[in-house]
Amino acid sequence: MVIVMSPDADPSDIEAVVTLAEAAGCEAFVSRGFARTVIGVVGDLERLGPQRLRGMRGVSEVAQVSAPYKLVSAEHHPARSVVEVSGVPIGPDTFTLIAGPCAVETPEQTLHAARLAKTAGATLLRGGAYKPRTSPYTFQGLGEQGLKILADVRAETGLPIVTEVVDPRDVDLAAHYADMLQIGARNMQNFTLLHAVGETTRPVLLKRGMSATIEEWLLAAEHIAQRGNLNIVLCERGIRTFEKTTRNTLDISAVPVAHALSHLPVIVDPSHASGRRDLVVPLARAAIAAGADGLIIDIHPDPAYALCDGAQALTHQDIQQLAQAVADLARVMGRRIPEAVANELTPA
């Protein structure tokens, strides 16, 4: 059972629900989102009595959820969620562009990329300090030094930071520097890492595993939510198939499917999905048109020299094209984009 608290519920209202559930021998999981708190209850729900809960102060909805994921389920959920990252909303009314280098390499490269990101209309900066790499002989990221560079670039540009964590021992450190924590595709079922980010108050960007079903992806989100953190943004980044012209196969259907099953925002990563610069803009367009709430894009001031995934990074000449595509299509889809961006572009 899921109890959705109203936006104006106060901590004592939440406490009262938890106390009642536990008194009935149930287990209660409080998950806090940007605008509202959701409480999942498992155990003898008959004995607990949903009717009693409906009358309690601060309780907005009480719903039985048949899906295996509860807190993140869309079943009986009144509205799609907005996740806010240091003031930048990701949700149903807006369209949010996250851009930046795959890996933080130097202060200059990162700052340059951040400025390019801004010209593309990005309002969040991505950049990896901890890089999970298939081979142990390739660049593994700068670690804390990379986080510091990101923080400096944020100070310079005003862009909040999204960065990946790969080890539960680094989560506190990363949460100290970053505005949003990313769980990469390879770690989508690294449950202790999910629990660690679930215990922070930072919003989480949860990439879909490369062979994860949508149900498994939502259950991974549930692992985070169950630990208290409902500020989760789902990110489709391509699944593994037999097709060889693209690095992965972007599962564009995952956008409307995840929207139908969950109240969480869903964004798309066309850079990692395709692995090819020439496909990023067409796939970005497709993602917006399919209803995505945002995009995350690799950009690099000098892709030929990138230490990681240069073949998919957009650079100067492509970025205006991306910005225009976002502006044109987001408008058709009825979504707001930042005014500063809109003003610089030609109308569709």
The residue from 240, 305, 316, 336 that contacts its own copies (CB under 8 A) is 240
Under 8 Å between Cβ of 105 and 325: no
Query: 81-111 burial by CB neighbour count: b if 16+ within 10 A, else e?
Result: bbbbbbebbbbbebbbbbbbbbbbbeeebbb
Minimal distance, residue 114 CB to its own copies, in Å? 27
Under 8 Å between Cβ of 291 and 255: yes
Give 202's contacts (C-beta < 8 A, 6+ positions apart).
175, 178, 179, 180, 181, 229, 231
Stretch of residues binding its own copies (CB under 8 A), selected from 14-22, 79-87, 244-252, 305-313: 244-252
**Binding flag, residue 246, its own copies (CB under 8 A):** yes
- What residues are paired with 63 via a beta bridge? 2
| Closest-CA residue to 268 (of 255, 281, 259, 279) | 255
**Binding flag, residue 64, its own copies (CB under 8 A):** no
Judged by beta carbon, residue 134 or residue 201, the one nearer its own copies is 134
The residue from 163, 231, 274, 315 that contacts its own copies (CB under 8 A) is 274
User: What is the identity of the amino acid at 96?
Assistant: T
Minimal distance, residue 348 CB to its own copies, in Å? 5
Give 117's contacts (C-beta < 8 A, 6+ positions apart).
97, 99, 100, 125, 159, 299
The residue from 211, 305, 340, 344 that contacts its own copies (CB under 8 A) is 211
CA dihedral 154, 85, 234, 140 (to 10 degrees): 30
Q: Compute the chain's Rg from CA coordinates.
A: 20
**Binding flag, residue 278, its own copies (CB under 8 A):** yes
Minimal distance, residue 289 CB to its own copies, in Å? 4
**Binding flag, residue 92, its own copies (CB under 8 A):** no
Q: Which of positions 291-320 make contact with its own copies (CB under 8 A)?
A: 291
| Closest-CA residue to 60 (of 7, 103, 130) | 7
The residue from 206, 214, 232, 296 that contacts its own copies (CB under 8 A) is 214
User: What is the identity of the amino acid at 72?
Assistant: V
The residue from 7, 11, 25, 282 that contacts its own copies (CB under 8 A) is 282
Judged by beta carbon, residue 58 or residue 217, the one nearer its own copies is 217
Stretch of residues binding its own copies (CB under 8 A), selected from 9-17, 114-122, 239-247, 303-311: 239-247
* Total residues at interface with its own copies (CB under 8 A): 70
Cα distances from 34 to residues 6, 37, 70, in angstroms, run 12, 8, 18
The residue from 46, 66, 201, 243 that contacts its own copies (CB under 8 A) is 243
Note the residues at the interface with its own copies (CB under 8 A): 42, 68-70, 132-137, 140, 166-169, 186-187, 189-193, 209-211, 213-216, 219, 222-223, 226, 239-246, 249-257, 260-261, 273-274, 278-279, 282-283, 285-291, 328-329, 331-332, 348
